Structure formats: structure tokens, C-alpha cells
């Protein structure tokens, strides 16, 4: 419904807060969802989502909801289905070039984003094109599954910096998971690593330090610089034959 959609965009801040609360609840329910089975929950969740978001935002169930990044305005209402907009055809009064009776979806989106904390940063993030295979599926359930999995992975990581490294090298990890592991290292692996460090790098460095500290570089006795000379060279003015 067009009027309700505009109303929701004007209250984007409120709906963002409400959604965050809701998201925290469904992510926390992940253990229960996994026990029931996400596949079984898909149909009832999609039904609930279609009706709730359909009423509030004219949601088209693309399955990859980006409402929080588009000022709580569904970009699928744009006749061109632009995920990054607006296009160059916005009318002078802010209405759509294709449907002159309605406000440009993206003009509304930028207005809504301006009312949300960090909204203008989020709307500037370039969104990928819609994957039509996901149309009709529940974004809510997808978010719960993805975020809960991410949190599980983070919890299993012994060291948060390891997890960050794994995220930074996601592609490398996909191909070779061992290249950026996130799981606990077994003691045996760590002790081997430690002993290698001791016998190679550490010992070599210790040896170097010792040789520098214990053996001052001394040339042969006869090469000692003469008193009054600079750096072993004769003083200026003293002619050498």
C-alpha cells in the first residue's frame, strides 16, 4: 500500500530499531531453529514476512532484503528494480519517470536514510544485483542462519585476530582453509612451531647478539688508531712519508 510505504519511510528510524530488536531475537533462536530444521521453517517464515513487510513496505520478497540500507524503502518498487539509485530520470518534483504518480523510490530512500543513524553511510554501499533464484524466500531466516553461523565461528576461534585474518582472506580460505585457520590449534602443532622458532630464528638471533656483545671488533694490534688521529687516519697537517 503506497500510503503506508511512505509512512514507514518517514519513520525509518523507529522501524530500524524495531528490526534490530527482532533480528537479535531470531539470531538468538538459531539453536531452536536448527533443531526444528531451517527447511521446515522456510514456508511459515516466508508467509509471515510477505504479509508483514508487504503491508508496511510494499515488500516484493526478493529474498535479499536491504531495507536497513535503503532508508526502509523497498528498492524492488522501483520500476527498473535498481538496487543502487536513483536513475537519471527523476522528475523535477521528485517523482518517478516511469510512474509519474509516485515519488521516486530512491528519492524516498535517501530521505529515509538521512533519518537513520549511519543511514547515509549505508546507502552509499554498492549493492549486488538481485539473485532471482532467491525470490520468494525468507530474508529473516537467511539473516538468522548467516549471523548465527558467523557468531559460532567467532566463538570457536581461539584468537579474535585469527578470525579477522580469516575474514580478510576469505577467498584464500575458501580454496585452502588451512591457509587462514580459525579453529583452536592443537597443542602438538603449537609445540612443534615453538621448538622450530627456538632452534632457528631465536637461536640464530641469540647467537648474533652474543657475538656482537662478547667480541668487540678489534683489528690486529698494529692497526690500532694512533692517538690524535681521527678514525685511524693521520691527523691533518702531519705529513706522512
Q: Could you give the string, one character per residue 49-78, with x where binding to ligand SF4 holds by CB under 6 A and - elsewhere?
A: -----------------------------x
Q: Is the C-alpha dihedral spanning 140, 27, 29, 16 positive or negative? A: negative
Residue 155 Cα distances to 183, 185, 192, angstroms: 9, 14, 25
Spatial contact of 62 and 130, defined as CB atoms under 8 Å apart: yes
Cell, residue 91: 522528475
The answer to whether residue 6 forms part of the interface with ligand SF4 (CB under 6 A) is no
Spatial contact of 179 and 172, defined as CB atoms under 8 Å apart: yes
Spatial contact of 90 and 104, defined as CB atoms under 8 Å apart: yes
- Binding residue (CB under 6 A) for ligand SF4 from 44, 89, 177, 234: 89
Residues in contact with ligand SF4, total (CB under 6 A)? 15
Rule CB under 6 A: which of 143-172 touch ligand SF4?
none
The answer to whether residue 79 forms part of the interface with ligand SF4 (CB under 6 A) is yes
- Binding residue (CB under 6 A) for ligand SF4 from 15, 45, 57, 106: 106
The H or E element that residue 65 is part of is none
Pick the closer one to ligand SF4 by CB: 63 or 86.
86
The answer to whether residue 105 forms part of the interface with ligand SF4 (CB under 6 A) is yes
Spatial contact of 112 and 71, defined as CB atoms under 8 Å apart: yes
Spatial contact of 142 and 63, defined as CB atoms under 8 Å apart: yes
The answer to whether residue 134 forms part of the interface with ligand SF4 (CB under 6 A) is no
| Pairwise CA distance, residues 211 & 217, whole Å | 10
Least distance from ligand SF4 to the Cβ atom of residue 138, Å: 25
Pick the closer one to ligand SF4 by CB: 107 or 166.
107
The answer to whether residue 86 forms part of the interface with ligand SF4 (CB under 6 A) is yes
Question: Given the rule CB under 6 A, which residues bind ligand SF4?
Answer: 78-80, 82, 85-87, 89-90, 96-98, 104-106
Amino acid at each position: 500500500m503506497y500510503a503506508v510505504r511512505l509512512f514507514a519511510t518517514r519513520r525509518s528510524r523507529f522501524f530500524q530499531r524495531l528490526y534490530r530488536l527482532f533480528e537479535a531475537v531470531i539470531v538468538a533462536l538459531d539453536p531452536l531453529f536448527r533443531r526444528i530444521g531451517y527447511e521446515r521453517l522456510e514456508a511459515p517464515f516466508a508467509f509471515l514476512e510477505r504479509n508483514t513487510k508487504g503491508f508496511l513496505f510494499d515488500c516484493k520478497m526478493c529474498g535479499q532484503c536491504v531495507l536497513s540500507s535503503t532508508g526502509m524503502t523497498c528498492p524492488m518498487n522501483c520500476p527498473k528494480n535498481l538496487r543502487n539509485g536513483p536513475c537519471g530520470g527523476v522528475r523535477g518534483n521528485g517523482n518517478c519517470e516511469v510512474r509519474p504518480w509516485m515519488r521516486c523510490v530512491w528519492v524516498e530512500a535517501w530521505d529515509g536514510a538521512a533519518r537513520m543513524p549511519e543511514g547515509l553511510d549505508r546507502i552509499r554501499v554498492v549493492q549486488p544485483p538481485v539473485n532471482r533464484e532467491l525470490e520468494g524466500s525468507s530474508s529473516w531466516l537467511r539473516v538468522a542462519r548467516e549471523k548465527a553461523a558467523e557468531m559460532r565461528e567467532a566463538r570457536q576461534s581461539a584468537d579474535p585476530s585469527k578470525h579477522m585474518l580469516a575474514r580478510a582472506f576469505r577467498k584464500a580460505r575458501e580454496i585452502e582453509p588451512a591457509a587462514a585457520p580459525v579453529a583452536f590449534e592443537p597443542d602438538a602443532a603449537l609445540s612443534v612451531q615453538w621448538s622450530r622458532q627456538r632452534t632457528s630464528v631465536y637461536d640464530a638471533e641469540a647467537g648474533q647478539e652474543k657475538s656482537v656483545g662478547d667480541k668487540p671488533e678489534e683489528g690486529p694490534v698494529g692497526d690500532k688508531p694512533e692517538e690524535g688521529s681521527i678514525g685511524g687516519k693521520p691527523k691533518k697537517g702531519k705529513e706522512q712519508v
